[in-house]
A and B are shown apart, each in its own frame.
Chain A
Amino acid sequence: MEQEAVHSAAAGHEASSGFPPFDQIGAFGVSQIFWLIVTFAALYIAVAYVFLPKIRASIETRDGAIKSDVAKAAALSAKADESVKQVEAQIAEARARSRDTAAKAKAEADAKTAAATAAKEAELNARLGAAEARISENRAKAMSSVSAVAEDAAAAIAERLTGIKPAAAAVKSAVAGVMGG
């Protein structure tokens, strides 16, 4: 309001219903142009030499930072890809090695099993051979005792039937003749 008072005091002598933008050109035109030049020049100098370079610099710094960060990220990503490839190669190698080891172990085990089987078989065969030998021996023994029993039985039958004790040699040859065919 104080300023308003100054305002009306200064402009008081002029017609109140005039058109100030034109009426006052004579009174204040030069002053307006002078202060326009002074203030605008001050603004221009501040803007052109202080603030715009600062704003530009900060924008450029940001652009640079973004660019370098993106480049860094790309490099890191490439590195990561490479390590993934390395790991994959390592995994493939390990897999091949494990396959080898497994195959070898299997072959070894197979060989061992085969050897063991062969040994067992041989042992069993030996035992089988022995058993068979024993069996045939027993059979022979049994057969010989059968002929003795048959001779006794034949002698006893012949004695009961005829009342005469047959000669041992004759019984033997008769039994042998029936059995041996």
Chain B
Amino acid sequence: MPFLELKEVTKGFGANGSRTEVLRNINLQIEEGEFVAIVGYSGAGKTTLINMISGLASPDSGQVSLGGKPITGPAKDRGIVFQNYSLLPWLTVSENILLAVDQVFPDWPPEKKSHHVASHVAKVNLSHARDKRPAELSGGMRQRVSVARALAMDPQVLLLDEPLSALDALTRATLQDEISRIWQDNRKTVVLITNDPDEGIYLADRIIPLSAGPGATLGPSIPVDLHRPRDRKTLNQLTRFKEIRSQVIDYLLASAPKRTEVQKTLILPDIEPEDLSIPKPLMGGRKQPIRRGDIRRESVEI
């Protein structure tokens, strides 16, 4: 029996009349300790999918279950890392993590809690910033705090909802390496939602494309049979890597709705350049800009 299972899950939004179905017939089975990446277009319903696993949203029909028990709401056995960090700005790095630890391990003595917090701050290389507030941190650092908060809950499943999509490419790569390292240390079940096929292939055991919405559904599950630890530099050259990537991308492209051609006339800016360094008169304000279409006579010096 699979550890985490979605069976015939369907979810839509809106009232009866204007209702759009976001996800349709989602079937997903994840084994314990597996790292699964789901890749799809923005707006296809990836966040809705992971919200149903986390329990923040519930499916209209079908069932989500963890360890054989149906998921009815959020619980401490699933840690989630949100796309926009979702840290509380009035708490420091340590306090943000402590808030989660307090919830999950209320009976621990304070020293054990603070030790637990400190070790997770260290795990994401943020010990130097543990007393800073989120506003003082860069995007990458904030997301690391968010990862540490989820890990500190010691969840059975770690849900990563596009954790790196708001970051620049270099920070992204660094954090991918960190996620990869942390996962290899503790081998938790991870569901990663991403819009970057390369990221999915680099990190996951299995990559599944989500077709374009509305009514998105999961495509074929593609095993990423590349040995670990994976090296970013050589990965790009591997034939198998290229095969997996093209399989994912081909599926995604084929699922996208055909674009219809739109006829549009271009309107060029109708304005004459002027010298802005000429000081404007004290009274009367700036002159109106001169529009080309308004010029009746043009003098040309020969």
A and B associate in one complex: no
